Amino acid sequence: MKIVTTAAGMQRLARGWQGQGMKVGFVPTMGYLHAGHISLVERARRLVGRAGVVVVSIYVNPTQFAPHEDLAKYPRDFKRDSALCRAAGVDVIFAPPDPEMYPGRATGDYSTYVVEETLAQGMEGAARPTHFRGVTTVVAKLFHLVLPTVAVFGAKDWQQAAVVQRMVRDLNFPLRLVVAPTHREADGLAMSSRNKYLSAEERPQATILWRAMQRAKAAVREAENGAVAAAALKQELAALIATQPAARLDYVEFFDPATLRPVAEVRRGAQLALAVFVGRTRLIDNGRV
Ligand code: PAF
């Protein structure tokens, strides 16, 4: 397994693979890897085969964090991450320092960003206004450096995957994007590097996101005509979440998975997304109703 830390070095390697017609599977991450990430690596391997190359990027991207967010304390453990990658059969880790990804940014001299203007508006985009600009910018840059044939994203960040998919289409990136299912703990909590922040009292309460999603599914299943008013169901889920002393709802939304537009009537096939603070930790989850 190679560890590459420069943008030029990564691109040189990728151009070599491209010249040889090799398939490249790519899993972008911010590190602090868990079983969910490893399942994305395994998916990438299956997609490119043994003859292909699997690249994992480990980079905590500063431009997707707002100034008040958790950039400085975002968990990092490169030694552990690289051991996990090696064990999972990763060929290359790309782990650039900030100046490689954002030349000049430290002195205010970086000025190019990629912005998706529609799907990035609601939910995470409304709660974290500069977040997706940072994500699309860094992912576009990573795609230019790694030159993947296929990139694998996790479904936990469902809106992120939709926004990146739109960017790939709109900007003609020559790659296929695959969205792999969310990995969960036995009690339903979606795996996330941020789960590490939860205290012993908060951890059991964090399953409220999963329980809220199950409640929404049951409500639609039980509804006489198969539809429930979104406003009423949102209220019900908000009340359920409020039963947990450490939990504070940020948003809950029901939307059309194709357009990401909110729906007034929730039927089977609608997508549900929610963001909940558990203590000071902000967790997100989503699923098909
Ligand atoms: O999902 C993540 O970990 C990040 O948003 C990504 C895609 C690696 C971009 O920084």
For residue 222, what is the domain's CATH number?
3.30.1300.10
What single string gives the DSSP state of each residue in 165-196?
Answer: HHHHHHTT-SSEEEEEPPPB-TTSPBP-GGGG
Q: Report if residue 187 sits inside a domain.
A: no
User: Could you say which of 180, 207, 230 is where a domain stops?
Assistant: 180
- Rounded (to 5) percent helix, strand, coil in the chain: 40, 20, 35
Q: Which atom of ligand 1 is nearest to the CA of 30?
A: 3
Q: Which atom of ligand 1 is nearest to the CA of 28?
A: 8
Query: Largest Cα–Cα distance of the chain, in whole Å?
Result: 61
User: Could you say which of 180, 207, 233 is where a domain stops?
Assistant: 180
- Tell how strand 92-94 and strand 53-58 pair up: parallel
The residue whose CB lies within 8 Å of the most ligand 1 atoms, and thus the one to mutate among 38, 56, 64, is: 64
pTM, two decimals, is 0.96
Residues of the chain falling short of pLDDT 70: none
- Residue owning the nearest CA to atom 9 of ligand 1: 135
- Residue owning the nearest CA to atom 1 of ligand 1: 29
The residue whose CB lies within 8 Å of the most ligand 1 atoms, and thus the one to mutate among 37, 157, 282, 285, is: 157
- Residue owning the nearest CA to atom 3 of ligand 1: 29
Spatial separation of the C-alpha atoms in residues 16 and 51, rounded to whole Å: 14
- Considering the domain architecture, whether residues 223 and 267 belong to the same structural domain is answered as yes
Name the strands in the sheet holding 53-58, side by side, starting at the edge strand that comes first in the sequence.
Answer: 2-4, 92-94, 53-58, 24-29, 150-154, 176-180
pLDDT at residue 264, rounded to an integer: 98
Range of the domain at 133: 2-180
pLDDT at residue 231, rounded to an integer: 98
Q: Which atom of ligand 1 is nearest to the CA of 142?
A: 9
Centre of ligand 1 to C-alpha 86, Å, is: 20
User: Could you say which of 180, 204, 219 is where a domain stops?
Assistant: 180
Centre of ligand 1 to C-alpha 228, Å, is: 34
Q: Report if residue 186 sits inside a domain.
A: no
Q: Which atom of ligand 1 is nearest to the CA of 64?
A: 10
The CB density around residue 19, as the number of other CB atoms within 10 Å, is 8
Centre of ligand 1 to C-alpha 27, Å, is: 9
State the DSSP H helix or E strand holding residue 46, giving kind and residue range, or none if neither: helix 35-48
Q: Which atom of ligand 1 is nearest to the CA of 57?
A: 8
Centre of ligand 1 to C-alpha 29, Å, is: 5
> Within 6 Å (CB) of ligand 1, which residues are found?
28-30, 61, 64, 135, 138-139, 157, 160
Q: Which residues are marked as active site?
A: 37
CATH of the domain at 141: 3.40.50.620
pLDDT at residue 182, rounded to an integer: 97
- Domains: count for the chain: 2
Q: Report if residue 188 sits inside a domain.
A: no
The residue whose CB lies within 8 Å of the most ligand 1 atoms, and thus the one to mutate among 37, 133, 138, is: 138
